[in-house]
Amino acid sequence: MKRLLTCLLAGVICLGAARAAPAAAATADGEEVELRSASVVVDGLTLFDVIGIQSYPASRRAAAIAERIRAVARDPAFDVEQLHLREEDSGTVIVAGQTSLLTVTEADARTQGLERKLISELFLDRVKGAVLEYRRERSAAYLWDSAIRSAIATALLALLVWLARVLLRRLQTIFTVRYQGRLDKLEAGSFGMLDAEQMRIVIDHALQVLWLLVSFLALVAFANYALANFPWTRHVSRQLLDLVLVPLQTMGQAVVASIPNLAFIAILILVVRYLLGMTRLFFVGIRRGAIRIAGFYPEWAMTTFKLVRIGVIAFAVVIAYPYIPGSSSEAFKGISVFAGVLLSLGSSTIIANTLAGYSLIYRRAFSVGDRVKVGQHVGDVQQIGQQVTVLNTAKNESVVIPNSVILGSDIVNYSVQARKKQLILHSSVTIGYDTPWRQVEAMLLDAAARTPGLLPEPAAFVLKTKLDDFYVAYEINAYCGNASRMARLLSTLHENILDVFNEHGVQIMSPHFEAQPEAAVMVPKAKWFEAPARRPD
């Protein structure tokens, strides 16, 4: 019965050694101070924990006890039955002949929550077992047996790695023979979005990674087993196993501890997505005209939705930030500051273009489809993005202009007045003073009337813009209702001007004199109303 109780208490001691928790001891003043414990380890096996004090730390005390136990075990003349307990004022002493191995104090017993006498008997039993095990593991029979087991394990490791490699090649062959055709069909069915060769490479790499993972786990298991077979390397095997298991355990514990926070973030994401979905439906209704708000134009709807979405997401991030795993760590804060610095240094142009894009949309300077002139570029607006605006010129050229450049430039919008039938298409000719101005005006109006696409109402008109030294500058003005046809209408108007002037024998030229003519160059009153001009009633 005593032996069974001792074994049960041994498990309690091992559990306490694994935790290595600090203990509390009472001082002379009745105050409790925290005492650190350390494990007594012999040949990689933990025997029990002992308590240290400030002048004699637990780690030094445990190391000294382990060395005394090893010294006793190395002495073949010493009989383990000579190990016994001796009561002293300082505590219960475990004695080996004339050598005191350790003194079990009240603090040591209080660490395990048991009486000192019971803990002392348990420590004595553990020391006896450690001495016997120390001697057994250094016997020739045990070492030969360990060497044979390690050799067998080495052969099994090599066989396992070789079999895994063979299996890998076999799987690659089976995949090539059976599934290559299916990948080709999948590529054809996806209209080129999926590449069969790329998918084959990905699967090959996945199989390679699987083989490396199996080989690595087999190597770790072999190393742990082989090193544990020998007493001199057993502590290395424990450390090797901890190198693999401790990170996995830490990550697993972190994931489990983060589950409530992750659940909160997941619920927050669902709520935000639902809210954004409802908001989008509202703004889509405004864009389609189903919902009307005074002073709010339909073309503002989706842009406003994007701004609202940014605000909602930013607010959600602020709420979720404290619940992000690792957000309170210094590393996370450092990375956040570093990312903010990079963003502030490298995004000035992006922010400027984005703000300019929103400004252009809300100012309604132009809309998609409008014929505009920005700087030296004239074209139809194809796209108004957050960063750039795209124009399609009359020559079918695609011009990409940063929004910040547009915001700082003069913008001419031809389509705004064209939609109101108020856009004026104009062209100039210069004619000498010997041609009656009424005749020229009538011919220009006739040419405008012959041009299809120019509006009959409002009526076209002619301006005399300049009385130069040698000629008069006439400007024909006609109304147009389609800004995208400006270039073709202007070309047709020029064709008709040439035809009308040729029909009436009037030269389109700008004379320059080298000498004063003998007769005055003027139009007689009788010729003021030459055809096609008409006299007023």
| Sheet strands (E) in 481-531 | none
Provide the residue ranges of all domains of the chain, joining segments of one domain with +: 2-136, 140-232, 351-413, 417-512+520-527
Domain 351-413 classification at class level? mainly beta
Measure CA 85 to chain center. 66
Structure tokens at 388: 């750039």
One DSSP character per residue, 428-480 reads: EEEEETTS-HHHHHHHHHHHHHTSTTB-SSSPPEEEEEEE-SSEEEEEEEEEE
Distance CA 447, CA 391 (A): 32
Question: What's the topology of domain 417-512+520-527?
Answer: Alpha-Beta Plaits (3.30.70)
Structure tokens at 519: 């007769």
Can 351-413 and 417-512+520-527 be said to share one CATH topology? no
Both tokens assigned to 251: 């990550």
The confidence score (pLDDT) of residue 463 equals 95
Taking the alpha carbons at both ends of the chain, their separation in whole angstroms is 142
Q: 107 near 23, Cβ under 8 Å? A: yes
Give the whole-angstrom CA distance, residue 310 versus residue 307. 5
Q: Quick check: 112 and 127 in contact, CB under 8 A? A: no
Question: Helices marked H in 347-474 — which ranges?
Answer: 348-363, 403-407, 415-419, 437-449
Amino acid 211 reads: W
Distances (CA, A) of 238 to 45, 149, 244: 9, 18, 10
Structure tokens at 104: 């079990």
Q: Are 39 and 46 in contact (CB under 8 A)?
A: yes
Question: By three-state DSSP, how is residue 466 classified?
Answer: strand
Residue type for position 58: A
pLDDT of residue 194: 58
- If residue 102 lies in a helix (H) or strand (E), which one and from where to where? strand 99-104
Which residues of the chain are under the pLDDT cut of 70? Answer: 1-35, 179-197, 238, 241, 343-348, 513-517, 519-522, 537
- 412 close to 373: Cβ distance less than 8 angstroms: yes
Instruction: Give the strand pairing for 371-374 and 377-384.
Output: antiparallel
Residue that is written with structure tokens 């072999």 in the block: 222
Beta partners for residue 101, in sequence order = none
pLDDT at 183: 64
Whole-prediction pTM value? 0.46
Structure tokens at 288: 């389609």
